């Protein structure tokens, strides 16, 4: 947790925020445009997946080998001098952007009529916790994490890992799921029926797809399809290191959770969803 900085109530990894005040000012001063599309999530919930789908919807199903962060830049990376992604401020419209910001912290239009769009993707937090642990480990000890799984998951439950408490994040967005400019998706639904979800995303973006294009994008955005363009999802300069695409399955947590840990997670994380109507802990 000492490797994070706190901005707008969220813990963000320090390795890409050399100056927290600068990022704070960037986010709070962000001028949204009506045609901005934010792909939003709690980390390791399927952001890259939705970024690729949205990008292909805007580019007629083209497969582009450019890095995903060059095509759909990351808001929280915007003030990192080491970052090579395009400058978000001067990016031509329509801007497709990635962020892990909470509903509270995300840039919004001053006037509701000129609001941009937000696509939120949620995932079973047990799988998200395993995914982020593996990813952080693969970053190496200088920027990543050098702790056993049991310790990491304890921090996750306490809301001390990146982007803070999972339940606050997801429920904050869930409350706005009926807003006309918010689309709330679930990773597990995309796994079950990708084609329908590609259509739902396209319709939300006012870009309804002809059948052949919807089929093509759904095919190209399966885990297998995206692995054919894997260089897009490897971190620049660290091509043999951390991967945004790791295993891509539902229920991987079962290999990592002891019954005791599962019980604690149910009590301290899943229980917070009670009464909200949001269900994520289901089997495929």
Residue whose CB is less far from ligand PPS, 15 or 223: 223
Distances (CA, A) of 70 to 84, 91, 96, 236, 246: 8, 11, 10, 10, 20
Long-range contacts of 168-173 (CB under 8 A, 24+ apart): 168/102, 169/42, 169/100, 169/102, 170/42, 170/122, 170/125, 170/273, 170/278, 170/280, 171/272, 171/273, 171/276, 171/278, 172/102, 172/103, 172/104, 173/40, 173/102, 173/103, 173/118, 173/120, 173/122
Is residue 221 close enough to count as binding ligand PPS by CB under 6 A? yes
C-beta neighbour count of 51 within 10 angstroms: 27
Query: CA-based Rg of the chain, rounded to a whole angstrom?
Result: 18
Is residue 247 close enough to count as binding ligand PPS by CB under 6 A? yes
Please say whether the beta carbons of 119 and 201 come within 8 A: yes
**177-206 residues near ligand PPS, rule: CB under 6 A:** none
Which of the ranges 17-25, 85-93, 173-181, 247-255 carries the binding residues for ligand PPS, by CB under 6 A?
A: 247-255
Residue whose CB is less far from ligand PPS, 215 or 222: 222
Is residue 75 close enough to count as binding ligand PPS by CB under 6 A? no
Is residue 220 close enough to count as binding ligand PPS by CB under 6 A? no
100 is catalytic: yes
Catalytic residue among 59, 100, 178, 256: 100
Residue whose CB is less far from ligand PPS, 25 or 193: 193
Which of the ranges 168-176, 177-185, 218-226, 263-271 carries the binding residues for ligand PPS, by CB under 6 A?
A: 218-226
**36-55 residues near ligand PPS, rule: CB under 6 A:** 41, 43-49
Residues that bind ligand PPS (CB under 6 A): 41, 43-49, 127, 131, 134, 221-223, 226, 244-248, 252
Residues with catalytic roles: 100
């Amino acid at each position: 947790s000492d490797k994070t900085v706190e901005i707008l109530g969220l813990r963000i990894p320090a390795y890409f925020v050399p100056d927290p005040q600068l990022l704070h000012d960037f986010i709070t001063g962000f001028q949204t445009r009506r045609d901005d599309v934010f792909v939003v999530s709690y980390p390791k919930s399927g952001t890259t997946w939705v970024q690729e789908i949205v990008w292909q919807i805007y580019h007629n199903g083209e497969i582009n080998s450019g890095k995903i962060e060059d095509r759909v830049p990351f808001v929280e990376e915007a003030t990192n001098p080491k970052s090579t992604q395009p400058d978000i401020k001067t990016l031509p419209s329509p801007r497709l952007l990635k962020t892990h910001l909470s509903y509270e912290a995300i840039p919004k239009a001053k006037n509701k009529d000129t609001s941009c769009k937000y696509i939120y993707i949620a995932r079973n937090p047990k799988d998200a916790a395993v995914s982020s642990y593996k990813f952080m480990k693969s970053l190496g000890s200088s920027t990543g994490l050098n702790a056993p799984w049991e310790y990491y998951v304890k921090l996750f439950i306490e809301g001390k890992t990146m982007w803070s408490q999972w339940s606050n994040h997801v429920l904050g967005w869930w409350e706005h799921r009926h807003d006309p400019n918010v689309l709330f998706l679930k990773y597990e639904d995309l796994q079950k029926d990708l084609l329908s979800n590609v259509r739902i995303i396209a319709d939300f973006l006012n870009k309804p797809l002809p059948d052949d294009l919807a089929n093509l994008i759904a095919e190209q955005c399966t885990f297998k399809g995206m692995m054919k363009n894997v260089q897009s999802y490897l971190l620049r300069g660290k091509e043999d290191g951390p991967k945004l695409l790791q295993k891509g399955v539902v229920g991987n947590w079962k290999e990592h959770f002891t019954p005791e840990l599962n019980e604690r997670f149910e009590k301290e994380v899943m229980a917070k969803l009670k009464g909200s109507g949001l269900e994520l802990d289901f089997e495929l």
